[in-house]
Amino acid sequence: MSEHFSSREWLTFTQVCELLGVSKNKLRRLLEDRYLLAAQVDGEPRIPADFFKNGEPLPGLRGTLTLLADMGLEGEEAMNWMLSEDSALGEAPVAALHRGHKTSVRKSAQLLAF
């Protein structure tokens, strides 16, 4: 994981399970179904706190992660894109999703294919 993200708040799976009120098995399904994305941080899988809004997975995140995966961008590459400033958006895609700009984020993701 990029050192650029060391200042972000990263949640452990236990913290995410408590936040969402779900079991670790349910969390694994949420990850498999691309509602969330995890990365190795300090030797264990963690999820950025930015991926949540009002105690739920961020609206628009699943569709964006699915689009990225369909384009062959998964895991650390997808995480780096989600958390890095995107020149077309003028901010990180996750920040744009927080502001409700799902369509702009997806258009920017599609530009990665070119």
- Give 3-39 pLDDT, tens digit per residue: 556 778 999 999 999 999 999 999 999 999 999 999 9
The whole model's pTM is what? 0.91
Rounded Cα distance between 106 and 45, Å, is: 26
- The model's pLDDT over 52-82, given as tens digits with 9 standing for 90+, comes to 999 999 999 999 999 999 999 999 999 999 9
Residue 1 pLDDT exceeds 70? no
Rounded Cα distance between 109 and 105, Å, is: 6
Rounded Cα distance between 104 and 3, Å, is: 27
Residue 112 pLDDT exceeds 90? no
Is residue 83 within 8 A of residue 92, CB to CB? The reply is: yes
Helices 24-32 and 13-20 cross at an angle (nearest 10°) of 100
